[in-house]
Structure 1
Amino acid sequence: MRVLDEPITFDEDFVNQPHAIYEQLRVQAPVRRAIMRRGLAVWLVTGYSEARSLLSDPRLSKDNRKARELFETRITATGTPNAFESSLASHLLNMDPPDHTRLRKLVNKAFTARTVSRLRPRIEQIADELLDSITAPGSVDLLEAFAFPLPITVICELLGIPVADRDDFRTWSNSIVSASAPEVLQEHSAALAGYLNALIAVKRSEPSEDLLSDLVHVSEEGDQLSDVELISMAFLLLVAGHETTVNLIGNGVLALLEHPDQLAALREDPSLLPGAVEELLRYDGPINIATLRFTTEPVVVGEVEIPADEFVMVSLLAANRDGARFEDPDRLDVRRQAGGHLAFGHGLHYCVGAPLARLEAEIALGKLFGRFGTLELNGAATSLRYRDSTLVRGLEKLPVKLA
């Protein structure tokens, strides 16, 4: 087996310039040791074939209870709070079958391509209203004015959550998916869990026509979700339902502005848009490193053996720029056949909300570039900063000039 170099660490360069770092890592060792910000030792996977294989490998578990026990043995000395203890943690992404199978079955119907397609008129209406509120010509933070409010409005309406609370959700969500201070993470996790618990109580006594009410009262072969499962499910759908799309829109707009020839091709032929969304997902997707897994037995990946009881982190961002899978991977090409990318994961935990994210991105980009004939960055791309997170790949701001 191959002997690896010293573990890498996740510093500021890793957050803001991951693609250059990943290119080096894929060449050196597509599976290697790494140290997280708070000291947790993991194995980082950056190659496409290795990532795709591990994402569907049953020897890698996501069981929350076992992960909590393993985490406690590895991180106790640092005094870091255990993120697996939160009532928000018992969701689909932290479960193995048969629990995962049971819960996934209860939400699958809400996110089929056919079901999601019925939302198109309302999503188009929301997009139009948001663009109407943008005064042009002028400068605007496109994340604040468009990329964030579009998906958060959609998911709040879908779940039956007051849109007036969306700013609170943004604050809580940013803390939970970013490298926040432990005390801030605990405070905001507790606030979100408390809010969702109260909302679920309302849906139980006064159900309405929304997904959260359906989940509270659903019965599949006599089975219902527990209170903890409901809170965790609502959390996952709410956070994943807007985080992914916010960053997909933001990263996608930036990529097109940096490649005016590709934007021109889209303007000339809007029928390219569905395929362009797939290419944008591949080129600079909204998720950097997938959520944590751990080995239940030794797993050989290429020239490396990962021992049992080791945490594994798979970089979707890195896998999608692997030249062994995608020709000229650092080139944006809206005509590329980008099928097979891993932006939504692969296997058992493939993103349940992928059809909704695709539809929202297609509508958002089409409406935005259809409305404004001139759209350019307001400032140098090198001045843009990314959110301090290894989970999401998303800009802090996206200032643009519109006309």
Structure 2
Amino acid sequence: MQAAKIIPPLTEKPAHVPAELVRDVDIFNLPGAREDVHLAWKRIQMEMPRIFWTPRNGGLWMLTRAADVLEYQKDHETFSLKGALVPNHPRPFPAPPIDVEDAEHAPWRLLLSPAFSPKKVAEAEAMVRKVTIEAIEGFNARGECEFVREFTRILPIVVFLTMMGLPPEDKEELLPLADVIVTSSTPEKLTEARMALMAYIQKQVNERKINPKDDLITQIMNAKIKGEPIEERYAVGMLTLALSGGLDTVKNMLGFCCLFLATHPDHVRQLRENPDLIPNAVEELFRRHGVSNTARLVRKDCEFAGVHLKKGDQIQGVSSMVGLDDETVPDPMTVDFNRPMPIPHATFGNGPHRCPGSILAKREVVVWLQEWLPRIPEFRVKPGTVPRQNAGMVNNVAELWLSWDAAKTA
């Protein structure tokens, strides 16, 4: 017998929260999210106030309009990423650069940036293409695949682990931990997964002390901030944070992009007939299918979005809703591969904490389309199956069965 799901008690409304701004919204249980995550978020945007407070998940403010989300992402003096996850459960170890504020942030970020620079991404493209082709050829002749298990849990994870200097086969150990971190609302499970990832990185660091390598782990271990070597616990925390993020975001983005194309054959035909449109199409697909929904802690009492916020409040600006806002994007629920650039979205955040891996993420999806469409030009959701989606800290496609006529594929 399946155990009954434990629903945490509602948090009592703080005195400074106006009663008329309280809404019962649980990001892990959005109505309709299992069928269409982004439509569920769009309903929240249309039906809820510009800012509201929910008693779910420890109690927090939520922003629904693009302008407010973009402003709060850029204002690191008022909003701290130390409260990035909902519910707010502090990380049990330091993790720069996300935990470092103000002027101290940039030097830490610079330690990671070279690993994901345009030059490094260009150098990694041959590997991305090789892994992509091998994965596709592994199931092409069958005429079907479960896209999440057979592709999204392979390409971005193998690429990222390789770039970090980690064994690709370790993905089987690491992926379940990353899944817990972005999908669980249980503090105990969250801490257990974080500590397991940290223990994995600590083991790698210990090995590099004996046998240094030309990889990101060794580079971070030997890095300096303001001329001083960084403490090992900061290096381990930084690498653990990078590993957690790298295992999840692109995986879910690929799932949503593929689900859209599997249900929109005219868009697939457009890309087949005009492959030069693929980079613009990827930007538009990212806008329409945002995945990450990080939160912040309020650093000081302030007025924001027309309400009074208190120091220590948690506030979530749902990045997924930025690209769905009619005030920012004309006809936002429609995917238009000819939409004029730049296409506004917050899929990778904005401001000082913008994701350093965004260039790599875009390149992986571009390569996927370049290699997939010539081999599997027509595909669909497998009849008799229903894609499974989930909302939460990271929107995700949990299962996506596809089928195609294998006789027509290259």
Regarding TM over 0.5, the answer is yes
1:394 equivalent in structure 2:
396
- C-alpha distance in structure 2 between counterparts of 1:107 and 1:391, whole Å: 23
The verdict on how the C-alpha distance between 1:376 and 1:115 changes in structure 2, with shifts beyond 3 A counting, is same
- C-alpha distance in structure 1 between counterparts of 2:162 and 2:228, whole Å: 26
1:307 and 2:327 are equivalent in the alignment: no
- C-alpha distance in structure 1 between counterparts of 2:295 and 2:98, whole Å: 7
Task: Tell me the TM-score normalised to structure 1 length.
Answer: 0.88
Letter in structure 2 aligned against 1:54: Y
1:360 equivalent in structure 2:
364
2:171 equivalent in structure 1:
166
Letter in structure 2 aligned against 1:236: L
1:26 equivalent in structure 2:
45
1:378 and 2:382 are equivalent in the alignment: yes
- C-alpha distance in structure 2 between counterparts of 1:3 and 1:20, whole Å: 27
Question: Deviation per CA, 1:182-241, whole angstroms, max 9, x where unpaired?
Answer: 443333222221111111111122111211111112235423332222222212222212
1:332 equivalent in structure 2:
335
1:42 and 2:60 are equivalent in the alignment: yes
Assess if the C-alpha contact under 8 Å between 2:81 and 2:295 holds in 1: no
Q: State the shift of 1:271 in Å.
A: 0.6
- C-alpha distance in structure 2 between counterparts of 1:232 and 1:182, whole Å: 19
Question: Deviation per CA, 1:307-342, whole angstroms, max 9, x where unpaired?
Answer: 333111010111210001100001011111352211
- C-alpha distance in structure 2 between counterparts of 1:354 and 1:227, whole Å: 27
1:9 and 2:25 are equivalent in the alignment: yes
- C-alpha distance in structure 2 between counterparts of 1:232 and 1:60, whole Å: 24
- Of 138, 146, 156, 1:133 maps to 138
Q: State the shift of 1:292 in Å.
A: 3.0
Q: Alignment partner of 1:19: what SS?
A: helix
Question: Deviation per CA, 1:281-309, whole angstroms, max 9, x where unpaired?
Answer: 1101222x1243324221221x3333333
- C-alpha distance in structure 2 between counterparts of 1:322 and 1:164, whole Å: 40
1:248 and 2:253 are equivalent in the alignment: yes
Structure 1 residue runs of 5 or longer lacking an equivalent are none
The verdict on how the C-alpha distance between 1:198 and 1:116 changes in structure 2, with shifts beyond 3 A counting, is same
- Of 59, 71, 77, 1:53 maps to 71
- C-alpha distance in structure 2 between counterparts of 1:208 and 1:180, whole Å: 37
Percentage of pairs with the same residue: 22
- C-alpha distance in structure 2 between counterparts of 1:398 and 1:357, whole Å: 20
Assess if the C-alpha contact under 8 Å between 2:63 and 2:315 holds in 1: yes
Structure 1 residues 255-266: aligned runs within 5 Å? 255-266=260-271
Assess if the C-alpha contact under 8 Å between 1:46 and 1:316 holds in 2: no
- C-alpha distance in structure 2 between counterparts of 1:120 and 1:100, whole Å: 29
The verdict on how the C-alpha distance between 1:373 and 1:195 changes in structure 2, with shifts beyond 3 A counting, is same
Q: Alignment partner of 1:33: what SS?
A: strand
Q: Alignment partner of 1:332: what SS?
A: coil
- C-alpha distance in structure 1 between counterparts of 2:303 and 2:154, whole Å: 42
The verdict on how the C-alpha distance between 1:63 and 1:334 changes in structure 2, with shifts beyond 3 A counting, is closer
Letter in structure 2 aligned against 1:391: M
2:8 equivalent in structure 1:
none
- C-alpha distance in structure 2 between counterparts of 1:13 and 1:344, whole Å: 25
Task: Tell me the TM-score normalised to structure 2 length.
Answer: 0.86
The verdict on how the C-alpha distance between 1:217 and 1:59 changes in structure 2, with shifts beyond 3 A counting, is closer
1:320 and 2:336 are equivalent in the alignment: no
Assess if the C-alpha contact under 8 Å between 1:93 and 1:291 holds in 2: no
Letter in structure 1 aligned against 2:284: E
- C-alpha distance in structure 2 between counterparts of 1:4 and 1:111, whole Å: 45
Q: Alignment partner of 1:9: what SS?
A: coil
1:294 equivalent in structure 2:
298
- C-alpha distance in structure 1 between counterparts of 2:401 and 2:113, whole Å: 37
Q: What RMSD, in angstroms, separates the aligned Cα atoms of the two structures?
A: 2.5
1:187 and 2:192 are equivalent in the alignment: yes
Structure 2 residue runs of 5 or longer lacking an equivalent are 1-16
- Of 200, 209, 215, 2:214 maps to 209
Question: Deviation per CA, 1:348-375, whole angstroms, max 9, x where unpaired?
Answer: 1111111111111111122112211221
1:351 equivalent in structure 2:
355
1:98 equivalent in structure 2:
103
Q: Alignment partner of 2:202: what SS?
A: helix
- C-alpha distance in structure 1 between counterparts of 2:378 and 2:44, whole Å: 38
- C-alpha distance in structure 1 between counterparts of 2:24 and 2:169, whole Å: 42
Assess if the C-alpha contact under 8 Å between 1:204 and 1:217 holds in 2: no
Q: Which moved more, 1:97-106 or 1:23-32?
A: 23-32
Q: Which moved more, 1:323-332 or 1:362-371?
A: 362-371
The verdict on how the C-alpha distance between 1:283 and 1:210 changes in structure 2, with shifts beyond 3 A counting, is same
Q: State the shift of 1:178 in Å.
A: 1.0
